[in-house]
C-alpha cells in the first residue's frame, strides 16, 4: 500500500506541473545526448588509437655517407633499446621497390629516380608509441642518421581534432546539465509547495523522512529516466543518420562504432540521469522541507 501511495504521488506530481516536467525532461535529454556523444567519441578515439598505433612506425633514415661502422652502431643501439618491439631494415633496393609500387601510376616519375637516390632506413615499432621522445633521445645523437620521423605526430593531429570535438560536447553537456539541475530544483520546490499541507501533517504525526521525501525524489528520478531514454534514442538516431548514411565517406578513416558501444550508453545515461536528478531533488528538499 505504501508503494502504491508513493507511485501514485509521483504520477500526480509529474502531471500537476506538466510544462515544467516537459522542460526538465528536454534539457535533461539534450544534456545526456551530448554526454553520450562525448563518451562514444572518447571510446572511439581510444579504439582508433589502438588500431592505428599498432601500425605506426618510427622511421630512421640513414645519411647518404654513413659508413658500415656507423650503421652497425645504429643497428646495435636500436636492438639494445628496451623500448623497441620490432625492427625491420629497409635497404635502398627495398625502398625503391616500395617507391615503385607507391607511384606505379606515374612511370615517368619512377624512371627519373633510381635506387641510389633513396635513403636506407630502419623501420621500428615501439612497444609503447607514446614513448617516442624517449626513444628518439637514445639514438638521435648517433652519427650517420639523417632524419627520424614519427608517424604518430601525424595521427595526433587527427586525434586532436576529435579530442576538441569531444571536449566541446562535454562543455555543452555540462551547461545543459546545469540548466537541467535548476529545473529539477524548481520542479521539486513547486511540488513541495503544492503539497505543503500534507507534508506538515506527515511531519506532525511522525512519518519517516524517507517516506516524506520519496515521492519528490522519485518524481525527479522518473523525469531523469525519461530524459535518459529520449537522449539515448536521439543518440541512436544520430548515429544511424549521420555516420551510417550522410557521412559514410568518413567511415573509411574512422573505425566503425560498434552497436554494442551505443547500447552501452543506455545504462550509462539512465544511471547518470537518475542519479543526478535524485541528488538534486534530495538536496533541494533538505533546504526546502527541512525535514
Binding site for another protein (CB under 8 A): 1-2, 5, 197-198, 200-209, 211-212
Dist CA 92 CA 108 (whole Å): 20
CB of 21 to another protein, least distance (A): 21
CB of 218 to another protein, least distance (A): 16
Using the minimum distance from each CB to another protein, give the nearer residue, 172 or 207. 207
Using the minimum distance from each CB to another protein, give the nearer residue, 109 or 211. 211
Using the minimum distance from each CB to another protein, give the nearer residue, 218 or 226. 218
CB of 202 to another protein, least distance (A): 5
Using the minimum distance from each CB to another protein, give the nearer residue, 5 or 103. 5
CB of 163 to another protein, least distance (A): 46
Amino acid at each position: 500500500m505504501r508503494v502504491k501511495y508513493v507511485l501514485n504521488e509521483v504520477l500526480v506530481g509529474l502531471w500537476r506541473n506538466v510544462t515544467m516536467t516537459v522542460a526538465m525532461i528536454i534539457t535533461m535529454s539534450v544534456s545526456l545526448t551530448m554526454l553520450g556523444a562525448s563518451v562514444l567519441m572518447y571510446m572511439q578515439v581510444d579504439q582508433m588509437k589502438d588500431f592505428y598505433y599498432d601500425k605506426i612506425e618510427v622511421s630512421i633514415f640513414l645519411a647518404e655517407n654513413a659508413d658500415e661502422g656507423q650503421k652497425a652502431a645504429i643497428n646495435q643501439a636500436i636492438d639494445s633499446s628496451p623500448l623497441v618491439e620490432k625492427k625491420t631494415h629497409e635497404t635502398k633496393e627495398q625502398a625503391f621497390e616500395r617507391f615503385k609500387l607507391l607511384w606505379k601510376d606515374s612511370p615517368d616519375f619512377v624512371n627519373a629516380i633510381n635506387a641510389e637516390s633513396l635513403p636506407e632506413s630502419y623501420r621500428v615499432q615501439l612497444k609503447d608509441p607514446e614513448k617516442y621522445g624517449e626513444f628518439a633521445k637514445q639514438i638521435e645523437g648517433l652519427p650517420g642518421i639523417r632524419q627520424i620521423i614519427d608517424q604518430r605526430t601525424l595521427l595526433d593531429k587527427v586525434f586532436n581534432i576529435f579530442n576538441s570535438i569531444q571536449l566541446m560536447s562535454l562543455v555543452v553537456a555540462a551547461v545543459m546539465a546545469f540548466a537541467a539541475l535548476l529545473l529539477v530544483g524548481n520542479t521539486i520546490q513547486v511540488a513541495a509547495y503544492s503539497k505543503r499541507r500534507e507534508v506538515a501533517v506527515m511531519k506532525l504525526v511522525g512519518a519517516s523522512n524517507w517516506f516524506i521525501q520519496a515521492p519528490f525524489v522519485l518524481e525527479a528520478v522518473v523525469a531523469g529516466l525519461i530524459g535518459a531514454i529520449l537522449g539515448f534514442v536521439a543518440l541512436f538516431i544520430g548515429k544511424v543518420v549521420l555516420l551510417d548514411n550522410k557521412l559514410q565517406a568518413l567511415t573509411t578513416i574512422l573505425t566503425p562504432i560498434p552497436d554494442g558501444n551505443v547500447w552501452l550508453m543506455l545504462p550509462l545515461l539512465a544511471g547518470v540521469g537518475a542519479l543526478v536528478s535524485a541528488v538534486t531533488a534530495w538536496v533541494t528538499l533538505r533546504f526546502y522541507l527541512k525535514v
